[in-house]
Structure 1
Amino acid sequence: MTIKELHALFLEHPVICTDTRKITENCLFFALKGPNFNGNAFAQQALEKGAAFALIDEEEFKTSDRFILCQGVLSTLQQLATYHRQHSNAKVISLTGSNGKTTTKELINAVISKKYRSIATQGNLNNHIGVPLTLLSIKENTEMAIVEMGANHKKEIEFLCSIAQPDFGYITNFGKAHLEGFGGVEGVIQGKSELYDYLTHHNKHVFLNADDAIQKERLEHYTKKVGFSTKDHQYYNIKFLGVDPYVSLEVEETTIHTQLVGKYNFPNCCAAILMGKYFNVPIEEIKSAIENYFPKNNRSQILSKNGFDIVLDAYNANPSSMKAALENFSMMAAKRKTLILGDMFELGSTAADEHQAISDLAEQLNFNEVYLVGENFFRTNTSYHKFSTFENLKEHLSNHPLEKGAMLIKGSRGMALERVLDIL
């Protein structure tokens, strides 16, 4: 079956499933493989649960005409997504970066959807599987598609661009994330910049934070760019008003009060505002979209529980985002401040130094109590409470209840520090 023929079949059955636990009636099941599973073995089960057809790449599993045999299920999914993208009328906005991708994507979609029929990456499905699935969610009437792209090594963004073929793009920032895979900060810059490389090579439009020296330098001679800045009047000006604890800003004499904590969320809001202006969304609608966006999924959420005012930022962490979170928390108005920090993953040979640097920063910022959790933090040289496992932290806090006050909880996803909420 050719990709063109498969696309015709997809239009008749426009729902893709890759997990037999989430089969919907008349969907197409793609039998993906992983290190510990073979989707081909579940294809029959998918059909029994209601899938219309199952795409497989191992002939032994083909027992009827409802099985479609292809060279490789993953590459077929990716080719189908590109074909579908090429035959849709939607404009594709792609974004990547070390920190803030998902929040920025959701803010952009909130703003864009005020004027256009839009779709956006669900959650953080931003890899070589998630990007195709996002593209395949484009409907006939979709006008804008906001596609988040994640990467932990070079050439990954380049590959995702070849699938999504974006019309516009934005990089949130370049930070100390996935250092192990990128081989250092310079590798991060090169890897994330593959989005701008694609756009400039194809003469597409670029959005940029003109206050970011790296972005500004890399795009200095490119003409199809639109940027925001707090100081450079060559670009669209947005004024930062402060955080208390939420970000406030001013644009075109309009004040916007967000539900987002941390100055690090200011450029995320600016990117959404810039794109709203570029696509002619009225400023009143932009204001409404941003003021009514509430973070979720453990991303900089403000919670109150049993006398604690909690900043829950347990979705992910790297040295850049950790530093920004600590500095922001130190500026919040509270009589008592407690930190609970979990290990940062994928730092390779820099892990020891980066965890020690965060521990040292916490000492400089003078918090009342600091609890460090994870094997890397356990090895730091510090006077703080430190625990090699979450279970050890839990046991300690069960016997030594925390004093009420403000609390920041932050760590990499694998640490699952949202479990602290069950202890309080």
Structure 2
Amino acid sequence: MTGQPGASRNVVVLGGGLAGVACAQRLGDEGVGVTLVDRNDYHQFQPLLYQVATAQLPAEDIARPHRVIFRDHPTVEVRTAHVTDLDVADLGVTLADGEKITGSHLVIAAGAQPEYFGVPGAAEHAFPLYSVADAERLRIHVQDVLRAVSEGQLDENALDIVVVGGGPTGVEITGALTELMTALATMERIPASGKIFLIDRGSRLLGAFSDRSHKYAYDRLSEQGAEPRLDTGVASVHADRVELEDGTAIPTRTVIWGGGESAAPVVQAAAGLKTGRGGRVDVLPDLTVAGLPGVYAVGDAANIPARHGATLPQLGSVAQQSGEWSAGNILRERSGQPTKPFHYKDKGIMAMIGRNAAVAEVGKHRHQVDGPLAFAAWLGVHAMLLSGVHSKVDAFMSWAWDYFERDHAAIVEWSARPKRIVWGDEPADAPHISAGRKTSGDSPPAAGDS
């Protein structure tokens, strides 16, 4: 980096998400110079995006400014800038203004973007849910539709929502929306609760879970009023409808896309970088890239090998642990020691379905629980993820338990947004989130493009 003595020996970390922050924090703890580059000035906690989208949390509460995170790490410098190119040979990145930043190592933690699989109209008309800005944009849109219906500007059909993708993202946002719409209809804020459709090409919801969890999620969502439609995919998305592969169409003004993700564009376009499934970087067991000494890839930017030839899923726990592990290997390299293969500590898989309803499969043998106990497990695991980057976990935990107990956990604030947490004492300690009303033809920005 220019203008700073010894900066050429800094570790360059591309991306300020769970993986990038974990890596930079571990290196910073050891006094190693780090230059972390991200297009946003905040770290976002993705597992709670659906709560932002349904007005249960303000966007700022899950977007903690990088300057606050690294305030006690003087060797970590954060650069808020858009990266236009990766130079893996020189272990660096090129910024939009042409500046090049190089270092002793390059850690690629650029995250992910929505994958639309070539579905016509999806990028233009669907709302992805992969970033804080995405969630805030969806919240504003839903609020606009609700107000328009309540004021008679739109008919009741506008309340119907289509969610694409039956994984945790799709199931969680569907559960939250059904509760929200039911509560608003009960309070007579809207004339009807509408219908939430959950579309998936597979034959079951939460495909990575057990059969018991598949059934629980399907039954619970159906009881709440949602309508899962399985064994059919989306053929096209339009401003006023979704056309399915089975030939049917669903009139809607709101399509939420949780159908998959791929690596950020800057990763997929990098010269000399071998990518595999999902445009992600294929890494060796120690998280390095074959043939590129000093280059690591972690989190959603990487295909990380697991046992029996499989790859680890794109989970927050995988991202955080791989980021920290890459830092450990960099420290080993710097001290002349051999790197070690990444060992993932599996905390299990879980998904929130609604108030008092969740599924969790935890522990080495995937012990299965559902209902209130599963919610407690969900809360505990996410608290562990938050504890590495949040200084006010206690405040968050208090809020989360209040949410668990409330009769109406998901009610849109018609006159004001929910009160946000103040992450620091200075005005600058607030994330700068850019999100507005999406109009037809808009292409949402790549969620993980740093």
Does TM, normalized by the shorter one, top 0.5?
A: no
Higher relative contact order (CA 8 A, sep 6+): 2
Structure with greater Cα Rg = 1
TM-score for both structures, normalised by structure 2: 0.28
More helix by share: 1
